[in-house]
Amino acid sequence: MGSRILRYVASGLAVVGLFGASLPSDSVTTIAAAAQRSFIVFDATLYKNKPSFNGYPIRPIKLLYESRLFTRNQPHTSLPAQDTVRSVAKELRGGPDRVIIDIERWPLKGDAKLVKENVDKLVTILTWIKAEAPDIEVGAYGTVPLPDYWRAIRGPGSKEHQAWQQDNDRLDEMAAQLSALYPTLYTYYPDREGWVRYAIAQLTEAKRKANGKPVYAFLWPQYHDSNKKLRFQPIEPEYWELQLNTVYQHADGLVIWGGWGDKGPETWNEAAPWWQITKRFLSQMDSSQPNRPIDLTVQ
């Protein structure tokens, strides 16, 4: 992408010209309409001593990690004990109305037989949870669609993108059990335009697989730990704002995760740039009159 710099609206309500084209004239109308719709922000952060967020349009959401469901020495290929899952599910009653399972030990791409077995296991766990907590809206972190940066950004006409979609189609049985889809849009690279392409591709695919269910994207205000050079470093404020605004345009809401480092939970920092940007975003999101876009091009 060389010296091309993605220029975006500082006020936060438009990300445009991603493929070198100017913004269509009806996009301003779309932006105004987006400001009137429901957009939900969930808190899934793990910070120590974080505030209650009273006064902010932020809702709590519960994540069920593998450590709650599996024993320490349990074989990776086996299901957790049914009694354990059902007991945990009973505890969900009366808590946040949305719960997300985060089970990452079972591959969902590759060998078709293995994928089918792993989908069946996830469906079984979802069934146990819903049986004990039928009023809970249950989702699964980063499963449908598969997080696949390089195939997602290739574009719908490419063989790579189509193969990615076919892999996502193999997850239909699990998707049918989910109340909403929760694609992950974590940051692996400093390439902002690349991230926007990836995010829009993931969210577009999520909508295709959601069949009308809500799509809530996971964001993390730090670089992913798989990037050895940038791992856990805070995302630049402008980059974080771009991510919030992109998700605002293309999803029904977002889940903010973070607060976990190499040494466990991190201490909340009220002055953190990402939080200052988020507060401004929440204020704009809550406003009935969005700021007018001032720049709608990519150069």
Residues 6+ apart with CB under 8 A from 135: 93, 97
Q: Is residue 1 part of a domain?
A: no
Per-residue confidence (pLDDT) for residue 258, from 0 to 100: 97
Q: Encode pLDDT of 229-260 as tens digits.
A: 999 999 999 999 999 999 999 999 999 999 99
Residue whose pair of structure tokens reads 């903010």 in the numeric block: 256
Whether cis (ω within 30° of 0) applies to the bond prior to 145 is yes
CA–CA distance, 58 with 254 (Å, rounded to integer): 10
Tokens of 154: 């290739």
pLDDT at 16 over 80: no
Q: Is residue 217 part of a domain?
A: yes
Q: Is residue 249 part of a domain?
A: yes
pLDDT band at 285 (very low <50, low <70, confident <90, very high): confident
Per-residue confidence (pLDDT) for residue 37, from 0 to 100: 67
Residue whose pair of structure tokens reads 């401004």 in the numeric block: 280
Question: pTM for the complete prediction?
Answer: 0.85
Counted domains in the chain: 1
CA triple 8-151-26, angle to 5 deg: 35
- Each residue of 269-296: b (16+ CB within 10 Å) or e? eeebbbbebbeebbebbeeeebeebeeb
Per-residue confidence (pLDDT) for residue 36, from 0 to 100: 57
Q: Is residue 155 part of a domain?
A: yes
CA–CA distance, 148 with 92 (Å, rounded to integer): 31
137 membership: H or E segment, kind and range: strand 137-140
Q: Is residue 16 part of a domain?
A: no
Q: β-pairing, 253-256 with 260-261?
A: unpaired
pLDDT at 224 over 90: yes
Host domain of residue 211: 27-59+145-286
Is there a contact between 219 and 43 (Cβ–Cβ < 8 Å)?
Answer: no
Q: Is residue 85 part of a domain?
A: no
Q: Is residue 247 part of a domain?
A: yes
Tokens of 57: 């349009």
Q: Encode pLDDT of 98-120 as tens digits.
A: 999 999 999 999 999 999 999 99
Q: Is residue 38 part of a domain?
A: yes
User: What 3-state class would DSSP assign to 45?
Assistant: coil
Check residue 65 and report its DSSP letter: E
CA–CA distance, 182 with 251 (Å, rounded to integer): 10
21-35, 64-78, 97-111: segment of lowest average pLDDT: 21-35
Q: Which of 232, 239, 238, 282 is nearest to 257 (CA)?
A: 232
Q: Encode pLDDT of 168-218 as tens digits.
A: 999 999 999 999 999 999 999 999 999 999 999 999 999 999 999 999 999
Bridge partners, residue 101, by sequence? 64, 140
CA triple 114-118-124, angle to 5 deg: 145
